[in-house]
Chains A and B, each alone.
Chain A
Amino acid sequence: MFRSAELVTALRSVTRELFERLRDETVDADAAYVVAPASIEEAAAVLAAAADAGIPTTFRGGGNRRQTGAPAAADLIVTTTRLASIIDWRPDDLTVIVGAGLPVDDLESEIAERSQTAVLPETAAGSTIGGVLAAGASGYRRLRYGPTRDRVLQVRMATGYGKVVTGGSPVVKSSTGYGMARLVTGSLGSLGLIGEVTLKLWSRPLAVSTVRVDDAAAAYRRTYRPLAVLETPDGASLYLGGSANQVAAQAVAIGGRASPNLAWPEPITDPVRVEMRVPAACVEEAIRWVQRIGATRWIAQHGVGIVSAGIDALDVAGVGAARAWAESVSGALVVLAGADDRIDPWGTPPPSIEIQRRIKAAFDPAGICNPSILPGRL
């Protein structure tokens, strides 16, 4: 593997002019070299050169999720800071095309003007759309609107073999070729750089409400399509959205203390963070498991099956036991942050690992894109 001086020499010898032009002085480089392409074509040229020279490469949006997966020891960082605009917002079609480097909050506040939302994570300040897509992250409102991947209509990317590829279709409904946009969503930058995405939008509900309840599961069963049902150590809440009359009527029917806004819990920032992903019916048991491994803070998504938790220190045996349970109910326990050599961030690789390996090889034949970030250290 290259390190600083050697790397720079290698890069210069490959395409000196290209790299110098794209070099990003604004990012403090903890890797040897940071480039900020201004187009997907430039990103593809960078990746082609990196693939030729065998330079391990990572991608950076907001830089919030650098820990996840096995941290790739990359010598080259490609950032999306110059691919960060709203390219085409079509409010009357409920779609938008954006550069991957656009911060989630910037998009949401822009389209809120016409009362629209891309249903991206609610508390992901500083995250970019490319980062969210790469992570396959969804907001709490997925209970009502489905996960992020269902709204990714088209992706333009620079592949690990240095080509610009468009996958998916630019319209809200399509059976035209393979679900490339679905493949790329959640691929953690292991196939290449996501440059541009077309997203499906929804209207924001006219009225919203957060209702505190005692028994989240019971209240959920009695309420038609809340936006989210969250439980934390501080209690449980139903999040409602709809017309003013509807929300008022639903809040009364639930019978808890209601406030006329969406009061999302503070994101978890502990140094060690884990996420249980289990069938929705197993959420309550998953909560007991994260308590057992010493979670100080946790957020459970009823109806979805995700419990994220922050812990002070990694208890390897405890996390191993919790993971064994999660996998026994066909779920997973992912260590989002704070994983070390003693524990794999993902757990048992999926049975389809061989096909996954072949897909990785097909899109990143030189193995340079976020190496070993995926389950099975792909």
Chain B
Amino acid sequence: MDATARLIELLGVDRVRTEPIDRMVYAKDSGVTAGEPAIVVLPETTAEVAAVVRIAAAFDMPIVARGAGTGLAGGAVACPGALLVVLTRMNQIVMVDEVGRTALVGPGLINLDLSHALVGRNLHFAPDPSSQQASTIGGNAATNAGGPHCLAEGSTVAHVLGVEVVSADGEILMLGGAAPDPPGYDLRGLMVGSEGTLGIVTQLLVRLTENPPQTVTMLIAFDDINDAARTGSDIIGAGLVPAALEMMDHEMIVAIENFVSAGLPVEADAVLLAEVVGHADGVAEEAGVIRSIAVRNRATDVRVASDEDERALLWKGRKSAFGAIAQAAPDYYLNDTVVPRTRFVDVLGEIYAIADRYGIRLMNVFHAGDGNLHPLVSYDASQPGMTDIVVEAAHEMVCVAVAAGGTLSGEHGIGLEKRDLMDQVFTDVDLDAQARISQAFDPARRMNPGKVLPDGARCFDRPSS
């Protein structure tokens, strides 16, 4: 029996896809790379995932895990001959513990579906990537996803207490759990952010966050983007860490207003969206500090929303950004890089200069509070060579951020697209150390090979054990 026959025997013909059309459907994530899998499977249980992994091992097939395919780094793009394991059918909410503030969920559960299921319980799942209507919690964990509210709450890793994993040899392991500080190495902390290269996550125990008693959202407009950037830096410099601190530049504001009427000030050069949460008295004071910092930096308008409807309106623009971009040009390249928060004004300037030099259209919508820049290029990929130019410009922007003491990715991950930039931030010795980790989990190099670590990362002899 060949691999396909074995898989059909396990999952039934409906959940094993090998037709060209299926392979094409799953050939891309939301980035710019592509690769067709040999076989696509749709398991529904952990036991099925484990059996699938064992079959792949028996036939020496590489395995690529996939959630919703909203990734922007090519992490879920198949390598040649790969078995693509699509986890979207494992989307159950197994348990919600309101007292312990945890939930046990399947990896295919869509991020926003969890928070919807929690309505009325005064709890929510804090990581809120802009893709939260589509991306899966398994994918969020695999990329250590961020979102506007990860500024104060931390990225996904701070919200994943435990993961059930199918290892490269088909074993089912629980890493971490509801109890704090489990003895031994923090393998949970390694699994999160490992982009499917250390195993397949088949269940997650996530931490739930209490809803704040009070939320104040502010939209602050500026005539000069540098004033907005400085306001962002100054807020952090004052020791304030708001719940969210997002920035949009003029191009972005205009694109959004053309797409939905969110009431953004189209004449502004940039806006900051700041949100403070907490106890009513504390929130008012923090909002006051933010306002005075903004005014000192020549803010032209400060709009404050305190009820739900007003808040929703202020966020509507931010949340519509990607829809707006999709409408503005046929294709876009969404970059992701981080700089120290003190360097953010200069780096932003350099990024605009790179865009000018390449003659490409740049928009910016990003997480100002944690220095996580998302320079976004909209372009037409049907123009020959255009994608290459855009990717080259994007890489230059990342290198500028790295030179300023930053790093390659704040939340989208490395995948394929930034793999060959890893040597910008890590030495050969550092990369070798990371390769040792991957080797410890996956000696046969079966899980998502060719992602995250550049070829030849293991530059020293394999340790004898």
Could you list which residues of chain A lie within 8 angstroms of chain B, going by C-beta atoms?
Answer: 90-95, 114-116, 136, 138, 142, 146-147, 149-150, 159, 161, 163-167, 169-180, 182-183, 185-187, 202-203, 224-225, 242-243, 245-246, 249-250, 277-281, 304-306, 326, 329-332, 334, 346-347, 349-353, 355-359, 361-363, 365, 374-376
Contact = CB atoms under 8 A, between A and B. Distances in A.
Interface string B171-195: 0011101111111111101101110
Given A350-B184, A365-B465, A183 B430 contact: no
A71 B370 CA distance: 41
Contacts of B144: 174-175, 179
6 contacts: A90-B340, A92-B342, A93-B236, A176-B422, A225-B278, A326-B179
Interface in B373-389: none
Contact of B187 (A95, A225, A352, A362): A352
B164 to A, nearest CB: 10
Contacts of A358: 439-441, 443, 465
Given A92-B233, A161-B463, A183-B186, 20 more contacts: A93-B371, A94-B341, A142-B180, A163-B429, A164-B429, A169-B425, A170-B340, A172-B341, A182-B190, A246-B278, A246-B279, A249-B279, A280-B101, A331-B177, A346-B184, A349-B184, A353-B184, A359-B185, A359-B440, A374-B184
B37 to A, nearest CB: 24
B426 interface: yes
Given A225-B210, A225-B278, A173 B370 contact: yes
Contacts of B286: 243
B399 to A, nearest CB: 13
Contact of A250 (B143, B237, B279, B464): B279
B372 to A, nearest CB: 5
B433 A363 contact: yes
A249 B281 contact: yes
Nearest to A137: B181
Contacts of A183: 185-186, 189-190, 437
- Interface of B, secondary structure class, is loop
Nearest to B236: A94
B212 interface: yes
Nearest to B412: A175
Interface residues of B, number: 92
CB-based closest 7 A-B pairs: A182-B189, A203-B239, A365-B463, A331-B179, A361-B465, A246-B282, A279-B178
Contacts of A357: 465
B194 A173 contact: no
B339 A171 contact: yes
B429 A165 contact: yes
B190 A176 contact: no
A182 B434 CA distance: 13
Nearest to A242: B282
Contacts of A277: 179-182
Contacts of A185: 186, 189
A166 B189 contact: no
Given A93-B342, A150-B158, A350 B183 contact: yes
B340 A171 contact: yes
B410 interface: yes
Contacts of B441: 355, 358
B330 interface: no
A261 to B, nearest CB: 19
B139 to A, nearest CB: 12
B154 interface: yes
